Amino acid sequence: MRTVFRTGFMVSAMALAAPLAAWAQAVTTFDGTYGGVSLTTNGAGETCTVKSPVPGPLMISGGNATTKQGDAAYQGSVTAQGALSLHTPSGTLMYGKIDASGSATAGVTVGTRGCTYNFAWKKK
Residue 7 pLDDT > 60: no
Write out pLDDT tens, residues 69-124.
988 999 999 999 999 999 999 999 999 999 999 999 999 988 766 789 999 999 99
Q: What SS3 class is residue 55?
A: coil
Give CA–CA dist 43/2, Å, rounded. Answer: 69
Residue 38 pLDDT > 80: yes
Work out the percent of the chain whose per-residue pLDDT is above 70. Answer: 73
Q: What is the pTM of this model?
A: 0.76
Q: Which domains does the chain have, with CATH numbers?
A: 2-123 (2.40.128)
Give CA–CA dist 27/70, Å, rounded. Answer: 28
Q: Are 84 and 76 in contact (CB under 8 A)?
A: yes
pLDDT, residue 67, reads: 97
